[in-house]
Amino acid sequence: MKTRIISGLIMAPLLIVLYLGGWFLWAAALLIAIMGLHEFYKGWNNLNVHPSNEIGYIMTVLLFVTAIPYGSRESAVPQFYENMMVICIWMFLAAAAGMIYGWKIDRRGPYDAVATVTGLVYIPFFTYHMVLIDMTEYILFIWIVVIAAFGSDIFAYFTGYFLGRHKMAPNLSPKKTIEGAVGGLIGSSLLSGLFGFIFMRDMAVICLVLGLVGGAAGMAGDLTASMFKRKMGIKDYGTLIPGHGGIMDRFDSVIFVAPVVYYTICATTGILNI
């Protein structure tokens, strides 16, 4: 526990990136996407599956480059349909590139192509929603992503530690309990609601709900990362952060929460214009 707390304190300055937003957040999200993708692809090697790092890196950079015109967050005006058009084109190119990669059947197998595409959708695409949130008028919601992800994790850990009795997903994460999950969701919702009450009072209820839904998404992200690790036969994705593992070990929940928050913003604030 001591190592986890120390590592958490070391990562605390990263909150400055959220405050600064704009290009700082863009660069941080791109770095997380590339490093996370590298760890994910590397894990497949244990199963003799070899995704294309080159396609992964090129497509990741290409996706984030599409956000360059938005400039500073203060002047950003969300254009949901334009964003979706860009994403659809990118999705097609990513899937096509991954499949073409598998054409050389004498050297590669279909799993190499599937792993390439899966990694692109799972990590860079999910992470990209952090940038999309920062492109809207509702930039404070970027904090809800972190509060919901880390809040649910912290509250689930301590609730499970003191009250946990019933295993939630023993095959994926033996230490997680149903009691811990409930505590994590309640804690995440309350923290998000409190943040909304202080900084976005007119959207406090939305923040409260997002804390609950986002907390659940964060847990899903954590279990999804564990699923891949179990099949890959690895304990952690990397060793970059002492006590936490690699980038994916720390941000697996964040990248799951970001899309939930973004699309909720779109659905509840009129960005969808429906």
Torsion angles phi and psi, residue 231, rounded to 5: -70, -30
Give the pLDDT score at 8: 55
Give the pLDDT score at 73: 46
Residues paired with residue 245 on neighbouring β-strands, in sequence order: 241
What total of structural domains would you count in the chain? 1
In whole angstroms, what is the distance from residue 128 CA to residue 259 CA?
9
In whole angstroms, what is the distance from residue 17 CA to residue 175 CA?
32
In whole angstroms, what is the distance from residue 77 CA to residue 100 CA?
36
In the chain, the largest separation of any two C-alpha atoms, in whole Å, equals 60
- Asked whether residue 51 is domain-assigned, the answer is yes
- Asked whether residue 273 is domain-assigned, the answer is no
- Asked whether residue 87 is domain-assigned, the answer is yes
Domain ranges, residue 150? 2-268
Q: Tell me the CA distances in angstroms from 160 to 27, 179, 185, 205, 227, one per residue in order.
A: 35, 6, 12, 27, 20
- Asked whether residue 220 is domain-assigned, the answer is yes
Residue type, 167: K
Give the pLDDT score at 1: 53
- Asked whether residue 274 is domain-assigned, the answer is no
Residues paired with residue 169 on neighbouring β-strands, in sequence order: 173
Q: Within a 10 A sphere around the Cβ of 165, how many other Cβ atoms?
A: 9
Q: Within a 10 A sphere around the Cβ of 244, how many other Cβ atoms?
A: 20
Give the pLDDT score at 65: 92
Query: How open is the CA angle 263-268-274, to the nearest 5 degrees?
Result: 90
- In this prediction, the residues of the chain whose per-residue pLDDT falls under 70 are 1-13, 68-82, 241-244, 270-274
Give the pLDDT score at 195: 97
- Asked whether residue 225 is domain-assigned, the answer is yes
| Residues contacting residue 116 through CB under 8 Å, at least 6 positions apart | 41, 51, 52, 55, 56, 97, 98, 101
Q: Where do runs of H (alpha helix) occur along 135-203?
A: 141-163, 178-199
pTM, entire model: 0.90
Q: How far is CA 242 from the centre of its chain?
A: 20
Give the pLDDT score at 70: 56
Burial 127-141 (b: 16+ CB within 10 A, else e): bbbbbbbbbbebbbb
Give the pLDDT score at 11: 61
In whole angstroms, what is the distance from residue 38 CA to residue 33 CA?
9
Give the pLDDT score at 268: 82
Q: Which two tokens stand for residue 232?
A: 């890959």
Q: Which two tokens stand for residue 245?
A: 């593992």
- Asked whether residue 101 is domain-assigned, the answer is yes
Q: Which of 160, 17, 134, 155 is nearest to 77 (CA)?
A: 134
Scanning the structure block, which residue is given the tokens 């070391």?
10
